[in-house]
């Protein structure tokens, strides 16, 4: 990716005028940039923070077909979700992989009548669902997933087998059903990769982070640099607001007073529980709680477990974080399905929270609010001579289809025809990813040869970055320098990320280009190493590094319940990292 200073200079020179302005660097914004780039339409994307710094970094790390949306009769959304999931398994196979899902249910026939009413949209609020209802839903789910199917259909697990596999399973579980969905290793990285692909595909497209929309002056939009504080202006042809839970605030900056979003907060916990992780193995447990919400638990790497999620109304996305009450709730519902799991607060190594950008509703159960998306159009007026298209809602899984729909609206307004589809466009490190064991083995040997890493470490790079690992292997140049405080990471690897993936702040690196904080590796020595590498690679002064450390410490504590002392860190000595 080009350097941010180069892009800022281009905007100041007027290169952003008369182009499409996309506001929001989450998955829907970068998805739209990617689609427009594929049509040769020049567009500028601005994001006040970093790529995927908001809700796009806070899903359950699933690319899912939306099974539970069948309950509220959103059949078209489920069909679209399943088809897009299947496509992502092909287009982003380096990040998106199948996961078997087990559904324990507490009765065979419970909730059948009420579920039928919800299927027919005659009843909205969620309710109990027995095995017959769930199995019928899975039958529909399987039918929707026939196109590009790469995973088995659902099945019933004999209860005795289920109890042997999960000895902790609650005695009152009456049946267990299994189906397949998909998980995503790093939604943060995939979002950034899509933005990078857009810029590579169309040189007239730019994605600028840490640049906020702060107002309108005549026919120009005012942008404020969140790092240096300077302002600049550009004259857009059309604005698309893809800021998710923040759409109302951006619309207000553009002179639009409407209130469109009514977000709900979803929190997750990452637990250090090797015992529970070993029992879960490669499966996810997806279960209904006593208050009829959907929760999940599954294993991550290194003995970690992810537990989520909540669904609470939230009007302040900026201050949203996982609360003590949510932790208590998640612990309680986990023990409803796995008595004896006995989660403790000192098991928590990381929390994360996102605000779902749902359409504003006055009342009703949060689970009954539609997860589909819509586009509101605000035509030009006397104070704003350009139209604004505002995206309400949107799911991670369906971002590509959503972006295509918005792009078609933009193309129609420009009087242009679509010339390319993004349907089969591979993403970032998923491009040319081998599908067979022999091809994979060849790539792993190549990574090992170029980098000087042993086979196991070469595979670690490959799993982390896909085919991009070949470029990082070249940066290691046969002389990898491991970071002692961060086993499995190398100095040249971190420097490469800083140079090539638009790292502008230390939290960009710790929270989104890597998964160090998510994996519980954000220790004082580890952060010292990363800070030193970033400072040397990006030319930060000592004062700038201190500022970055303070900012990161505050974020980790207030947003992720991770306390770390970053005021006086030991110096990490580098070995010519910047030249790696």
- Would you state the pLDDT for residue 525? 93
Angle at 404 between CA 21 and CA 355, to 5 degrees: 70
| Closest of 575, 569, 496, 484 to residue 531, by C-alpha | 569
What does the pLDDT look like over 19-67, one tens digit per residue? Answer: 999 999 999 999 999 999 999 999 999 999 999 999 999 999 999 998 9
CA–chain centroid gap for 504, Å, is 19
Q: Tokens 């970053």 map to which residue? A: 566
Confidence of residue 579 (pLDDT cuts 50, 70, 90): very low
Q: What integer is the mean pLDDT of 424-438? A: 97
Q: How far apart, in whole angstroms, are the C-alpha atoms of residue 51 and residue 54? A: 8
Give the total residue count for the chain: 580
Q: How far apart, in whole angstroms, are the C-alpha atoms of residue 333 and residue 404? A: 38
What does the pLDDT look like over 38-47, one tens digit per residue? Answer: 999 999 999 9
The answer to whether the Cα torsion of 459, 460, 465, 471 is positive or negative is: negative
Whether the pLDDT of residue 580 is over 50: the answer is no
- Would you state the pLDDT for residue 161? 96
DSSP codes joined into one string, 194-254: HHHHHHHH-TT-EEEESEEEEEEETTEEEEEETTT--EEEE--SEEEE--GGGHHHHHHHT
The partner residues of 388 in beta bridges, in order of sequence, read: 239, 378
Contact yes or no for 356/264 (Cβ under 8 A) = yes
DSSP codes joined into one string, 280-313: HTT-EEEEE-TTS-EEEEEE-GGGEEEEE---EE
Contact yes or no for 513/486 (Cβ under 8 A) = no
Whether the pLDDT of residue 352 is over 90: the answer is yes
Global pTM exceeds 0.85: yes
| Closest of 527, 514, 533 to residue 562, by C-alpha | 527
The CATH topology of domain 60-183+264-353 is: D-Amino Acid Oxidase; Chain A, domain 2 (3.30.9)
Mean pLDDT, rounded, of the chain: 93
φ, ψ (nearest 5 deg) of residue 252: -60, -40
Whether the pLDDT of residue 292 is over 90: the answer is no
Contact yes or no for 49/508 (Cβ under 8 A) = no
**What residues does each domain of the chain span?**
4-55+188-262+371-414, 60-183+264-353, 434-579
Chosen CATH of 4-55+188-262+371-414 out of 3.50.50.60, 3.30.70.2740, 3.40.50.720, 3.30.70.20: 3.50.50.60
- Percent of the chain predicted with pLDDT > 90: 83
- 3 state SS of 84: helix
Confidence of residue 113 (pLDDT cuts 50, 70, 90): confident
The partner residues of 355 in beta bridges, in order of sequence, read: 265
Confidence of residue 566 (pLDDT cuts 50, 70, 90): low
Whether the pLDDT of residue 578 is over 70: the answer is no
Contact yes or no for 232/11 (Cβ under 8 A) = yes
- 3 state SS of 100: strand
Q: How far apart, in whole angstroms, are the C-alpha atoms of residue 421 and residue 431? A: 16
Neighbours of 498 (CB within 10 A): 24
């Amino acid at each position: 990716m080009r350097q941010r200073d180069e892009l800022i200079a281009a905007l100041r020179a007027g290169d952003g005028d008369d182009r499409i302005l996309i506001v929001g660097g989450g998955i829907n914004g970068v998805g739209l940039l990617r689609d427009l780039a594929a049509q040769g339409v020049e567009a500028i994307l601005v994001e006040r923070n970093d790529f995927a710094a908001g809700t796009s970094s806070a899903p359950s790390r699933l690319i899912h077909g939306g099974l539970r949306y069948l309950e509220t009769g959103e059949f078209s959304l489920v069909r679209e979700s399943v088809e897009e999931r299947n496509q992502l398994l092909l287009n982003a196979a380096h990040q998106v992989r199948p996961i078997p899902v087990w559904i324990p249910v507490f009765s065979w026939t419970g909730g059948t009548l009420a579920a039928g009413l919800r299927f027919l949209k005659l009843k909205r609020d969620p309710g109990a669902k027995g095995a017959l209802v769930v199995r019928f839903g899975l039958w529909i789910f399987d039918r929707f997933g026939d196109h590009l199917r790469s995973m088995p259909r659902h099945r019933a697990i004999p209860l005795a087998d289920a109890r042997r596999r999960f000895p902790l399973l609650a005695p009152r579980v009456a049946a267990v059903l299994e189906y397949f969905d998909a998980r995503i290793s790093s939604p943060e990285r995939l979002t950034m990769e899509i933005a990078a692909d857009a810029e590579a595909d169309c040189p007239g497209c730019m994605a600028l982070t840490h640049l906020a929309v702060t107002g309108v002056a005549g026919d120009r939009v005012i942008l404020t640099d969140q790092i240096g504080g300077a302002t600049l202006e550009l004259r857009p042809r059309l604005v698309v607001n893809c800021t998710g839970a923040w759409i109302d605030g951006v619309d207000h900056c553009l002179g639009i007073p409407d209130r469109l979003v009514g977000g709900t907060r979803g929190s997750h916990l990452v637990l250090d529980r090797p015992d529970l992780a070993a029992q879960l193995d490669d499966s996810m447990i997806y279960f209904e709680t006593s208050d009829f919400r959907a929760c999940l638990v599954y294993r991550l790497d290194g003995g970690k477990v992810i537990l989520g999620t909540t669904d609470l109304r939230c009007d302040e996305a900026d201050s949203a974080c996982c609360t003590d009450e949510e932790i208590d709730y998640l612990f309680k519902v986990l023990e409803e399905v796995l008595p004896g799991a006995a989660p403790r607060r000192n098991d928590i190594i990381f929390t994360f929270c996102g605000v779902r950008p749902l359409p504003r509703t006055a009342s009703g159960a949060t689970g009954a609010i539609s997860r589909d998306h819509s586009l509101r159009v605000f035509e030009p007026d006397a104070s704003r001579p350009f139209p604004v298209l505002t995206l309400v809602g949107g799911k991670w899984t369906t971002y590509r289809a959503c972006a295509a729909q918005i792009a078609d609206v933009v193309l129609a307004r420009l009087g242009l025809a679509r010339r390319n589809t993004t349907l089969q466009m591979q993403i970032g490190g998923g491009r040319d990813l081998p599908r067979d064991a022999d091809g994979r083995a060849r790539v792993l040997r190549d990574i090992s040869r170029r980098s000087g890493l042993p086979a196991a470490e070469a595979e670690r790079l490959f799993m982390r970055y896909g085919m991009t690992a070949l470029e990082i292997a070249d940066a290691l140049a046969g002389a990898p320098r491991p970071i002692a405080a961060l086993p499995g990471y190398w100095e040249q690897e971190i420097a490469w990320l800083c140079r090539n993936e638009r790292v502008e702040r230390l939290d960009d690196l710790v929270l989104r280009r890597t998964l160090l904080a998510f994996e519980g590796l954000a220790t004082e020595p580890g952060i010292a190493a990363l800070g030193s590498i970033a400072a040397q690679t990006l030319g930060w002064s000592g004062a700038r590094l201190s500022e970055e450390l303070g900012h990161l410490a505050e974020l980790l504590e207030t947003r992720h319940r991770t306390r770390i002392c970053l005021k006086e860190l030991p110096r990490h000595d580098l070995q010519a990292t910047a030249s790696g």
